[in-house]
Structure 1
Amino acid sequence: MNVCVIGTGYVGLVTGVCFSSLGHHVICVDQDHHKVQSLQDGVVPIYEPGLKERLDQNRNEQRLSFTTDMKRGMAQAEVIIIAVGTPANKDGSADLSFIKRVSLDIGHYLTPGVTVVTKSTVPIGTNRKIKQWIAFSCGHQQFSVASCPEFLREGNAIKDTLEMERAVFGVEDAVAETVLRQLHEPIPTTIVVTSIETAEASKYAANAFLATKISFINEVANVCENVGADIEALATIMGLDHRIGPSYLQAGVGYGGSCFPKDTQAFIRVAQQAGYDLQIVPAVEKVNKEQRQRLFNKLKSVYPPSLAGKRVAVLGLAFKPNTDDMRAAPSIDLVEALHHAGATTVGYDPVAQSQAERVLPNLVRTSSWQEAVKSADAVFLLTDWPEFKAINLNELKSLMNEPIVIDGRNLFKPEEMLKYGFYYDSIGRTKVDGRSLSGANVFSKALYTQTGTK
C-alpha cells in the first residue's frame, strides 16, 4: 500500500519505518525542515534500538522517504496516518491544535476514497472532529476516518509494532476496516474491530491501568519498608496469580515518559467532561509524585539538617532504559529538589546526555559513571541501565567520598551492599548501613531490621 504518515515524532517515525519494513511504500511528512533533512541523511533524532538500521535499509530500498511537502506526501496515498503530538494543556487536557491544523491541511489535498487513520492519542470524540475539519477544508465527505491507537513501549517499539499483541481498529465503515486489515496483514496479531469512541478510550484506559499497577506496588513497597517485609518476594508471589501477572510490579521511583503522565491527566479531564469524576486515577498520580519526594527524603535523613554543599551523583537520567526520553523523568524532580537543597548534582546516562543538557540546566553532566561518582557524598540510582547493574562495587566505593547509595530501581541486593560497607537504601526492602564515617565502622543491619530506624 501507499502510506502517508504525518508527523515524525516518536510514534510517527516508528510507525513509518515499521510499515515500510512490511513492504508498504511510506512517505513521512513533517513541517520541520531540519528534521526532514536529517532523516533523509539517515540521522535519527531519537534513541530507539534497531530504528536507525531499519530506517537506512528501507530508504536504500526506496520504500521510505521524508518530505515537508504535504501535497507530495499525500499524492499517491491510499491511507493517511495522523501521528502528530497532543501535548498537555495547563489543566491537563489534551491540546488538539496540531491535530486540527493537520486535519485542515489534509483537506486541501485529499483524494476521494482515502482513509484517514489517527495514531495520536486523543480524547474520545476527536476523530469525529477530525472528520468535520477535513470535510470543512475539502468540501465533501468522500473519505473514511478511523482510530488505530498505538501501544508502544519506548525501548521496545520495533517489536511492539511488528509483533504487536493486538491491533485495535475503531472504524465508521467497512472501507476503513478493509484498509486497516490490508495495512496490518503481514503482522500476526489479534485484531479487535470496534467503534471509533471505544478505540479512542482504549489507549487511555490501558495506560491508566498500567500506571495504577506501578503506583499500587510502590505503595505496597512503602508499607514493606515499615513492617520489615521484602517487596521483591512479595511482588513475585502476587505475579504468580494469573489474574494479576508479573508485569509492572517492579517497585521503584515511579513512572515517567511521554505517555503515562500525559494520558492519566487527559483521562481525568475526559471523564470530567463526560460528567464523571475518576477516583482511582488521581490517586495514582498523587502516589507517583510523592514517590519521588520519598526517595529524596531518604537522602535527607542521612544528612540532617541540610544537604547544602554535598556533592550528589545521579546515575540514570532518562525515564527508563533503552531510550533517551527525558519527558517527566524522575531525574528532573530529584535534581531540582537537590538544587533547592543546596547540593551540587553530577549526572550520567548512557544515551540521554544531550537531552539532559536541555532539561537539567543545574546538572553537571559527565561522560561516565565513574566520573559522576568521583568524590560524591551520595549516589542516586534512577534508571536501570545494564551498565549500572554491572557496576563494580569495590570501584564504586573507592571513588566516592562517602559510600551512600539511594537506589530508586532496586538494582543491588541489600546483603551485597552491606558486605561492601555501603549505606544503602532502596524501595520496599530492609535498609542496611555498612558505612565507615568519621573513622567509625558501623554495621547495624540488625538494628534496622528490629526497629526500622537509622
Structure 2
Amino acid sequence: MFARRIVVVGSGYVGLTTGACLASLGHKVICADVDAAKVTRLKAGEVTILEPRLAELVAEGLAAGRLEFVLGARNAVADAEVVFLCVPTPMGSGGAADLAAVESVIAEVRELLPSGCVVVNKSTVPVGTAARVHELLDRADVAVVSNPEFLREGTAVHDFLNPDRIVVGSSAQDAAERVAALYAKLGAPTVFTDAPSAEMVKYAANCFLAMKLSYVNAMAELCERLGADVADVTEGMGYDRRIGQSFLQPGPGWGGSCLPKDTHALVQVAEAVDFDFMLLRASIDTNTRQRDRMVAKIRDAVGGVLDGVRLAVLGLAFKAGTNDLRDSPALAVAEKLRAEGAELVAFDPGIPAAVPGMTDAVRVVSDPYQAAEGALGLVLLTEWPEFRTLDWPRVAGLLAGKAVVDTRNLLDADVLRRAGLAWHGVGRSPVA
C-alpha cells in the first residue's frame, strides 16, 4: 500500500479519529481545525475527547512524524493528495442538515487544492452534497468522493480499524479506488457506488437503528402494561439472525450527535421530493414520548409529585464510555424533571464538573455517594457499568427514600432489594 499525503479538515470525534487512525496505517496526515486552543492542545498530544485508544494513537502519530496539527485548512492543503471533510453538519432550520461549515471550507481551499487532489465528504451530509461540493469547487481537475463514517462514540477507534464495510461513492472511478486504497490494510468489504447512494447509506443505516430503538422502547411500554418482561422478550428476539441482538436495549430514548439530526434530516430530504416518511416520523415521535414516559415513571416512584423533591442522578452523557453531552437523553430527562421543580444532584464518570450551557439543570458532583445523600429517589440515566458495583447498602443509607428508577435496566434488582431499595426498570416489573 502506498502512503498518501492526507489532510483532515476538522478535529472533532470523526476528524480526530480519522486522522489518528489513518496515520496509524502509515499515511502522512495533517489535521486542520479552526479552534486555535484545540490545535495547541493536540500539538502537545492532549486529547480531551473520552475515547479508548485515541490519545495513544495521537501520541504515536506525533512521535512518528506521521500526524500533524495546524490552524486553518488553507495552511494544510497545498501538497494534499486526499482532503477529508470532517466538519460539523448540525441540525439546521426545520431539521435539515446545516452545510455552512462544508461550504466555508470549500470556499477557503478551492483555489489552493493541487491538481489531481481528491476531496472526500466524511461528514454525514444529505444526498446531493457531493454534487454541490463539486459545483462549489468548480475544478474539473479535483474529484469529489463520498466516504461516510460508521463510528460509534466509545468505540470509534475500534470501529475505524475493524470496519464492517467501507462505502465509497463517486462517478470518478480512479478517485474512488484511490480512497478505497487508503483502507487496504483493514481488509474490509468495500462497496463502490455513486455518490448519492453512498450518502444515502449513512442516513439509511442510522435511521434504521433509530427506528429499532424506538420499536424496543414502545415494546417495553407494552410489556409493562401486559405483565411481560422486556428483557426476556428481547433475548428471544435477539437470537433471530434476521433481527440480531444489538440495539434491543430499552432506555430513556435515543440521542447523541448523530441519530437526532440524521432522522430529522432524512425527513426533510424526503419531504423535498414529496415523500411522507411516516415510519421515520413515528419513530421520532416515539422517542420524544419516551422521555416524557421516563419522567412520569420517576414521578410515580417518588410519590406523584416532583416539585421540591431532591433526586440523585447517575449519568449525564448520552452513552457510557463518552463525555459527549450533545442531544443526551439523560440531559433531556433531567431538564424535564427540573421543569417540574425537582432538585437534581448528578454524577457522571466522564463529566467531572459542570459544563455551562449543558448541565444547567443539575448540580454536578464528583462522587456518586454525594449525589445520593438526602435524595428522595435515585435515577440512573446513562449505562456506565461501574454503577452496577456501587456500594448499594451505603447508597440506601444515604438516600432519604427507597426508590431507584433504572431507565437502562442496568442494575441487579435483587442486589438493590437486599439493600432495602425499590428497583423500577423499563419494561419490567418493579422489585422491592
TMscore range, shorter length: over 0.9
**Alpha-carbon deviation of 1:69?**
4.1
Which amino acid counterpart does residue 377 of structure 2 have in structure 1? Answer: A
Is 1:115 aligned with 2:118?
A: yes
What is the CA–CA distance in structure 2 between the aligned matches of 1:418 and 1:30, rounded to whole Å?
51
Is 1:29 aligned with 2:10?
A: no
Give the TM-score, by structure 2 length.
Answer: 0.97
DSSP-derived class of the 2:191 partner: strand
- In the other structure, the counterpart of 1:127 is 130
What is the CA–CA distance in structure 1 between the aligned matches of 2:188 and 2:227, rounded to whole Å?
44
DSSP-derived class of the 1:4 partner: strand
- In the other structure, the counterpart of 2:233 is 234
- In the other structure, the counterpart of 1:38 is 41
Which amino acid counterpart does residue 119 of structure 1 have in structure 2? Answer: K
Structure 1's 420 and 355: CA in aligned 2 closer, same or farther, altered over 3 A? Answer: closer
DSSP-derived class of the 1:177 partner: helix
Is 1:310 aligned with 2:309?
A: yes
Identity of aligned residues (%): 38
Structure 1's 305 and 248: CA in aligned 2 closer, same or farther, altered over 3 A? Answer: closer
Q: Deviations over 1:405-437 (max 9, x none)?
A: 0101001233443333222211000123x3xxx
What is the CA–CA distance in structure 2 between the aligned matches of 1:357 and 1:388, rounded to whole Å?
25
**Alpha-carbon deviation of 1:72?**
3.3
**Alpha-carbon deviation of 1:354?**
4.2
Which amino acid counterpart does residue 135 of structure 2 have in structure 1? Answer: Q
What is the CA–CA distance in structure 2 between the aligned matches of 1:368 and 1:264, rounded to whole Å?
35
- In the other structure, the counterpart of 2:14 is 11
Alignment of 1:3-402 (within 5 A): 3-135=6-138, 140-354=139-353, 356-402=355-401
DSSP-derived class of the 1:353 partner: coil
What is the CA–CA distance in structure 1 between the aligned matches of 2:44 and 2:93, rounded to whole Å?
37
**Alpha-carbon deviation of 1:305?**
4.8
**Alpha-carbon deviation of 1:274?**
1.7
Task: Give the conservation status (yes or no) of the 8 Å contact 1:309–1:342.
Answer: yes
Structure 1's 192 and 305: CA in aligned 2 closer, same or farther, altered over 3 A? Answer: closer
Task: Give the conservation status (yes or no) of the 8 Å contact 2:354–2:363.
Answer: no
DSSP-derived class of the 1:65 partner: strand
What is the CA–CA distance in structure 2 between the aligned matches of 1:130 and 1:55, rounded to whole Å?
29
What is the CA–CA distance in structure 1 between the aligned matches of 2:120 and 2:133, rounded to whole Å?
10
TM-align CA RMSD: 1.3
Q: Deviations over 1:12-46 (max 9, x none)?
A: 11100100010000001111111111111111131
**Alpha-carbon deviation of 1:352?**
2.2
Give the TM-score, by structure 1 length.
Answer: 0.92
**Alpha-carbon deviation of 1:303?**
4.0
Segments of 5+ residues of structure 1 without an aligned counterpart are 435-454
Which amino acid counterpart does residue 12 of structure 1 have in structure 2? Answer: G
Task: Give the conservation status (yes or no) of the 8 Å contact 1:74–1:109.
Answer: yes
**Bigger CA drift: 172-181 or 154-163?**
172-181
| Structure of higher CA gyration radius | 1
What is the CA–CA distance in structure 1 between the aligned matches of 2:9 and 2:301, rounded to whole Å?
51
Task: Give the conservation status (yes or no) of the 8 Å contact 1:35–1:45.
Answer: no
- In the other structure, the counterpart of 2:429 is 430
**Alpha-carbon deviation of 1:208?**
0.4
Task: Give the conservation status (yes or no) of the 8 Å contact 2:116–2:142.
Answer: yes
What is the CA–CA distance in structure 2 between the aligned matches of 1:33 and 1:315, rounded to whole Å?
34
What is the CA–CA distance in structure 2 between the aligned matches of 1:181 and 1:330, rounded to whole Å?
36
Which amino acid counterpart does residue 192 of structure 1 have in structure 2? Answer: V
What is the CA–CA distance in structure 1 between the aligned matches of 2:244 and 2:325, rounded to whole Å?
28
What is the CA–CA distance in structure 1 between the aligned matches of 2:399 and 2:182, rounded to whole Å?
54
Segments of 5+ residues of structure 2 without an aligned counterpart are none
**Alpha-carbon deviation of 1:358?**
3.7
DSSP-derived class of the 2:52 partner: coil
Which amino acid counterpart does residue 31 of structure 1 have in structure 2? Answer: V
Which amino acid counterpart does residue 43 of structure 2 have in structure 1? Answer: Q
**Alpha-carbon deviation of 1:357?**
4.2
Structure 1's 397 and 238: CA in aligned 2 closer, same or farther, altered over 3 A? Answer: same
What is the CA–CA distance in structure 1 between the aligned matches of 2:57 and 2:349, rounded to whole Å?
22
What is the CA–CA distance in structure 1 between the aligned matches of 2:301 and 2:378, rounded to whole Å?
12
DSSP-derived class of the 1:267 partner: helix
- In the other structure, the counterpart of 1:440 is none
Task: Give the conservation status (yes or no) of the 8 Å contact 2:73–2:105.
Answer: no
**Alpha-carbon deviation of 1:393?**
1.9
Task: Give the conservation status (yes or no) of the 8 Å contact 1:414–1:430.
Answer: no
